[in-house]
Amino acid sequence: MLNYIYDGSFEGLLTAIYETYYRHEIPENILPEQHLQEQLLYKNVHIVTDIEKADKVYNSIREKISVSALQHVFYVFLSELAGAGTWIYQYLRFGWKVGREVDLYITDDRVLKIHTISRKVAVERHRMLGLIRFRYLEGDTYYAPIEPDYNIVGLVAPHFAKRFAGQNWIIHDVKRNLAAVYNQRGWIITDINVNSELNLEEKEKDYQTLWKQYFKSIAIESRVNPKLQRRCMPVRYWRYLVEK
């Protein structure tokens, strides 16, 4: 039995899928290097990322299946779940067989799996748009730390590039040491590791105090519903909410 091993990048995954067709092999699993575990009876085949091959698979998904399928695949990849590469491969094999109607087969396990995970990533992206809190730092830069379940920093960046087009900002995924960095012209994803305490502008401290007071003062005590609040604003996100 075969395991295809790729470097963990989206291009690496697409390259691995390309190789399954042109080597005429059907691997049992397609795994990123970080999830590799030695197993008896399995042969590990390491796939070298090839951008040209990855582009061919990317275009084939878009043209022969659908743009929607391509988004589902990318969102599932961003989930970083251990079996994501394998599930994507199985979904795409089925997609190339049935074409643009693949997402109508909602009772098929391959489709249902992809839709379920893609939806979870999309929900967290939508939720995070309302939970990101920027702090104004010395040096005229806004900084927002987050720790999402999924690797969504690149999904939220376009929204803030439009909304805060006139400011420099950083959205820092603390758990993954990744950040979206915007300089009023464009944004990039880059590795980042903040080891020292960040210095807030003096007026930022005043704004934080005012925001906490406002948050407290608008609450109607008789209508406080902690259970509903935790459902709409899960506790795992509270660490970086100024008002909490």
- CA–CA separation, 170 vs 134, rounded Å? 9
DSSP element (H, E) containing 44:
strand 43-46
As given in the structure block, the two tokens for residue 65 are 């299946």
User: Which residues does residue 162 pair with via DSSP β-bridges, in sequence order?
Assistant: none
pLDDT of res. 193: 82
Mean pLDDT of all residues belonging to the chain: 89
- CA–CA separation, 153 vs 179, rounded Å? 7
pLDDT of res. 15: 98
- CA–CA separation, 40 vs 74, rounded Å? 31
Using alpha carbons only, what angle is made at residue 39 by residues 35 and 40, rounded to the nearest 5 degrees? Answer: 170
pLDDT of res. 213: 67
The neighbour count for residue 100, using CB atoms within 10 Å, is 14
pLDDT of res. 34: 82
Decide if 15 contacts 54 (C-beta within 8 A): yes
Residue 242 has pLDDT above 90, yes or no: no
Please, what is the end-to-end C-alpha distance for the chain in angstroms?
A: 51
What's the pLDDT tens digit per position in 211-237? 666 566 666 676 666 676 667 677 787
Q: Which of 56-60, 92-96, 104-108, 237-241 has the lowest mean pLDDT?
A: 237-241
What's the pLDDT tens digit per position in 127-166? 999 999 999 898 889 999 999 999 999 999 999 999 999 9
The neighbour count for residue 134, using CB atoms within 10 Å, is 18
pLDDT of res. 222: 65
Pairing status of strand 43-46 against strand 2-6: parallel
Phi, psi (rounded to 5 degrees) for 67? -65, -35
At position 204, the amino acid (one-letter code) is E
More confident residue, 17 or 227: 17
Give the distance, in angstroms, between the CA of residue 77 and the centroid of all CA atoms in the same chain: 8
What's the pLDDT tens digit per position in 165-183? 999 999 999 999 999 999 9
More confident residue, 205 or 69: 69
**Helix axes of 51-60 and 10-22: crossing angle, nearest 10 degrees:** 80
Nearest to 97, CA basis, from 110, 114, 84: 110
* Confidence band of 201 (pLDDT split at 50, 70, 90): confident
As given in the structure block, the two tokens for residue 217 are 């003062």
Helices first, then strands: H and E counts in the chain: 8, 8
- CA–CA separation, 168 vs 170, rounded Å? 7
pLDDT of res. 36: 72
